[in-house]
Chains A and B, each alone.
Chain A
Amino acid sequence: MTALKKPRSIIQPVSFCAGCGHAIIQRLIAECIEELGLQDQIIACCDIACSEWSLDALDYDFIAGPHGRIAAVATGIKKVRPDKIVYAHAGDGSSYVIGLTETCYAAIRDVPITMIVVNNACLGMTGGQMNLATTLLGDKTSSSPYGRSKDSTGHPVDMLKLIQNLDVQFAARGALFDPRHIEETKRYIKKGFENQVSKKGFSVIEVLSPCPTNWNLSPVDAMKKIREENTKVFPLGIYVDREERGTGCG
């Protein structure tokens, strides 16, 4: 088999916590970029949240936007530098809660960027508070110590089902609980970059990703929880592929 080696664009050791999915996603992003030969064309955007650990670790031009504004920052960059390949690596609090407007309008405008949303079911960097969009009912977090209740905070929302109604290029959800699903997630991310190279529209890839530190689970048990629980509420698969005219998931 061919040799496998950490992408050359990763120039620092991983700063994320042990067992954090952001780190696997960072590797997938760098692998896709290198496999497509895009290293010199990238402008990367991260958020003021855990994805910010990527800023110094990757050898790309990088901007950390204000928390939640990452889709708007990436939109601005792409509008003034359409020749560049612009991607956003953001959290689910950023993309789906405080920055839901920015994410939706990037989608509505069909801006040709590649957006990677890390669904770790909490606000990671600030201490694992409940995420209105992604924390499962019953899950205990630092701000829902008795478990999330529908009566006080509503139920989680599948944002890809919302985005599915907009005229976007590509929307898919992957997960990281085993190598097969990690490879599938990589294919989605690669598709997101390929769409941008061929000047197609907005691509969003959501990834079910563990935050063992704030979930108070071992990394192994955090992956198990994703496989057994989170995928039931957030089904994996392609939600929109305008090229294929597919709209179903699965």
Chain B
Amino acid sequence: MAKSNANTELCKGCRLCIQVCPKQAIIPLEDLNKAGYKIIAINTAACIGCGMCYRMCPDYVFSIEQETKSYG
């Protein structure tokens, strides 16, 4: 199954991805990345690889890939 993968170093904390995920699989965190923005995490078990997060994110944090490696 395809899953979303996030490079949170690119995240700018806009939170736009949270509301578009149909599985509530994106979790807003209080942790900061190196640039100082609040990041997110993906609950990979809940993710269905639908790509809504990829389409919404203005900072190209997400990629949707076939699950061939371990995430997290």
User: Which parts of B38-67 form the interface with A (CB within 8 Å)?
Assistant: 49-52, 54-56, 58-60, 62-66
Known: A18-B12, A223-B16. A4 touches B54 (CB 8 A): yes
Known: A14-B59, A182-B55. A3 touches B66 (CB 8 A): yes
B55 touches A179 (CB 8 A): yes
Known: A1-B50, A182-B56, A183-B55. A18 touches B14 (CB 8 A): yes
B52 touches A179 (CB 8 A): yes
**A250 in the interface, Cβ–Cβ < 8 Å?**
no
B49 touches A1 (CB 8 A): yes
B60 contacts which of A21, A27, A178 (Cβ < 8 Å)?
A: A27
A-B contact pairs, 30 of them (CB 8 A): A3-B2, A3-B64, A3-B66, A4-B51, A4-B55, A4-B62, A5-B64, A6-B60, A6-B63, A14-B12, A14-B60, A18-B12, A18-B58, A19-B14, A19-B16, A19-B58, A20-B58, A21-B58, A23-B58, A23-B59, A24-B58, A179-B51, A179-B52, A182-B55, A212-B14, A218-B14, A219-B16, A219-B58, A220-B19, A223-B16
- Taking Cβ atoms with an 8 Å cutoff, the residues of A that contact B are 1, 3-6, 10, 13-14, 16-21, 23-24, 27, 178-179, 182-183, 212, 218-220, 223
- Taking Cβ atoms with an 8 Å cutoff, the residues of B that contact A are 2, 10, 12-16, 19-20, 37, 49-52, 54-56, 58-60, 62-66
